[in-house]
């Protein structure tokens, strides 16, 4: 038993058929999938998920992008899950992401950067609760 992080495979990566390859990398890195679903977020749900970014100039663009197609949401478990997952996905901007990271391999751009990863244990818990009930976790 480790702690959890929350991830989303973002619309352009799902659309491009990269979900399987990304999930492979996640499991190969030692994360256990606790919960997972494919879902098309409404504009309201996407806006609510990214509420913390409301004051940032790209908020509208981010919400529009995240509700533009289905995503795959998942809760992942591993020791040191939050930090290790941020390392696995790489920097927000794929041009700065280390070689071998998920964003270096699959992201299209700073905005369309393939995956989300929680930035703290507290946010991991909030984000997991946003998408999953306790009966959907195993
Ligand atoms: P993360 O924690 O690495 O996902 O990065 P942030 O919390 O800073 O940003 C959240 C998400 O907003 C990123 O993953 C990108 O999809 C998007 N984003 C960040 N910066 C920009 C930007 O300058 N323009 C646009 N359009 N989207 C951005």
For residue 48, pLDDT beyond 80: yes
Domains defined along the chain, listed by start = 4-136 (3.30.70.141)
State residue 43's pLDDT score. 98
Tokens of 56: 């940032």
CA of 103 from ligand 1 middle (Å) equals 12
Mutate which of 111, 116, 117 for ligand 1 pocket (most atoms within 8 A of beta carbon):
111
Distance 113 CA to ligand 1 centre (A): 8
On the question of pLDDT at 1 being above 70, the answer is no
- Return the pLDDT at 128: 98
Write down the pLDDT at residue 11: 98
CA distance 72 to 16: 13
Residue 2 has pLDDT above 80, yes or no: no
User: Residue 68: what pLDDT?
Assistant: 97
Q: What is the mean pLDDT of the chain?
A: 97
Model confidence at 27, pLDDT cuts 50, 70, 90, reads very high
- Measure 90 CA to ligand 1 centroid, in angstroms: 13
Residues 6+ apart with CB under 8 A from 103: 89, 90, 91, 92, 94, 97, 113, 114, 115
Q: Is the CB of 108 under 6 A from ligand 1?
A: no
The verdict on whether 116 is a catalytic residue reads: yes
Tens of pLDDT, residue by residue over 100-124, are 999 999 999 999 999 999 999 999 9
Any atom of ligand 1 within 6 Å of the Cβ of 92: yes
Q: Quote the DSSP letter at residue 67.
A: T
**Protein residue with its CA nearest to atom 1 in ligand 1:** 92
Question: How many CA atoms within 13 Å lie on the side-chain side of 77?
Answer: 10
pLDDT at 30 over 80: yes
The pTM of the full predicted model, rounded to 2 decimals, is 0.97
pLDDT per position as a tens digit, 55-79: 999 999 999 999 999 999 999 999 9
């Amino acid at each position: 038993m480790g702690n959890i992080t929350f991830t989303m495979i973002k619309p352009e990566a799902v659309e491009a058929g990269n979900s399987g390859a990304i999930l492979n990398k996640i499991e190969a890195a030692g994360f256990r999938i606790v919960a997972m679903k494919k879902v098309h977020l409404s504009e309201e749900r996407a806006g609510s998920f990214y509420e913390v970014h409301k004051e940032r100039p790209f908020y509208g663009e981010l919400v529009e992008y995240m509700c533009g197609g289905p995503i795959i949401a998942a809760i992942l478990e591993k020791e040191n899950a939050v930090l290790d997952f941020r390392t696995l996905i790489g920097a927000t901007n794929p041009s700065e992401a280390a070689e071998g990271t998920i964003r270096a391999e699959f992201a299209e751009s700073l905005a369309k950067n393939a995956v989300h990863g929680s930035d703290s244990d507290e946010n991991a818990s909030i984000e997991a609760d946003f998408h999953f009930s306790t009966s959907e976790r195993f």
